[in-house]
Amino acid sequence: MRVLILLAALSAAVFARDTFEGHQVLRIVPKDEEHLSLLKELEEMVELELDIWRGVTDLETPVDIRVPRSSLESVKSLLESQELQYSIMIEDLQTLLDEEKEEMEAATRDAQPRDTDSFDFSNYHTISEIYEFQNMLVRENPALVSKIVIGSSFEGRPLNVLKFSTGGTNRPAIWIDTGIHSREWVTQASGTWFAKKITTDYDKDPVLTAILNKMDIFLEIVTNPDGFAYTHSNNRMWRKTRKPNSGSSCVGVDPNRNWDAGFGGAGASGSPCSETYRGPRAHSESEVKAIVDFVKSHGNIKAFISIHAYSQMLMYPYGYTRTPVKDQTELHSLARKAINDLSALYGTYYRYGSIINTIYQASGGTIDWTYNQGIKYSYTFELRDTGRYGFILPANQILPTAKETWAALMTIMDHTSKNPY
């Protein structure tokens, strides 16, 4: 009987999984301001069920949109009628997703890791595998690593944060988070690698050792656990939280539009069905509120780094206003150095600057709030790539992505350590 129930549950899970067969990712190149306006209108056409992978910014930056098969003919006809050039970046999204799934399944057929040395950092992992990795890392490094739970998600999952500390109380600290947008799998994978790198390099790398002898590092690898679990079980393209919205059948809030920094302004949506829905109020999402409460109660965080994908950018505040931050000169200079150090590894090209000038206007963002709380070194990354694979970055790019990002993180952390304020 139990076997029958299990088979039924597995069948339900399979049938519940969203399919993206025939969905294409189009890259659209605007030529003038009229084209930019048309693309902004296109983004708001809810009936087309478009998924904006890379939104409208400027004439130098293409726009990437996932178009369902049912809307392909309409969208392509509209683009052609307006003389908007486009190319097909991904011919059939489901084909890539099937390949990704097969790779993960092949990796899990191998023996489960007994320790973090045998953990496969070159593949994507489920939330349970990442949580178990965290537990192993703490067990192996009790003098350096501890796990704190800063809250729970809407669905009741723990919001785990790894604390790397060599002792002392309420020391100046650095915060790093990955995976606030759940479908950006290379970020959670990189965060897992960062955690191991810290334990491996402490007492060996003099720069990291000096940082940890003065400061603590807090790392939240799965910042949006409900969304991340949902990307594995139902919808690989899920971005938001999983909290139901009152009065709407659409679920979830964009946790990077939910912070009390220009909340509700341009660059966020008031529609619950939008991928950039800001939520009913600032800090309405438990995943966001937990970080807000932690930052405020700690009171001594000196750098805050939130990691996203994709587009290959390193940015500092602001996103909600064009008013430059008072530390712009220093933040820009440090971003340049960090990107030079990142590029030195594999030659990966990154853009850098303030959010509003580098990517687009966005209100209610994480690092705008942290900067306004007095955390000077507030940065956000957009990791690989620039759109060939977008959110479906092949697993063979995890380690290069993590390693080059670590070089930039070390630059920021070293500067923070050496420039107290």
Confidence of residue 13 (pLDDT cuts 50, 70, 90): very low
Q: Amino acid identity, residue 28?
A: I
At residue 264, the pLDDT reads 96
CB 151 within 8 A of CB 145: no
At residue 7, the pLDDT reads 37
Spell 370-400 as b/e; 16+ CB within 10 A means b. Answer: bbbbebbbbbbbbbbbbbebbbbbbbebbee
* Digit-coded pLDDT (tens) for 292-343: 999 999 999 999 999 999 999 999 999 999 999 999 999 999 999 999 999 9
Strands in 313-316's sheet, in edge-to-edge order, are 145-152, 158-164, 216-220, 173-178, 301-309, 377-383, 313-316, 351-354
Dist CA 220 CA 216 (whole Å): 13
Residue 109 DSSP symbol: T
Residue 33 DSSP symbol: H
- The H or E element that residue 218 is part of is strand 216-220
* Digit-coded pLDDT (tens) for 142-180: 999 999 999 999 999 999 999 999 999 989 999 999 999
CB 228 within 8 A of CB 188: yes
Q: Is 411 exposed, middle or buried (0-12, 13-18, 19+ CB in 10 A)?
A: buried
**Cβ count within 10 A of residue 244:** 12
382 as an active site residue: the answer is yes
* Digit-coded pLDDT (tens) for 253-266: 999 999 999 999 99
At residue 10, the pLDDT reads 39
Dist CA 241 CA 243 (whole Å): 6
Give me the catalytic one of 129, 220, 287, 382: 382
CB 405 within 8 A of CB 307: yes
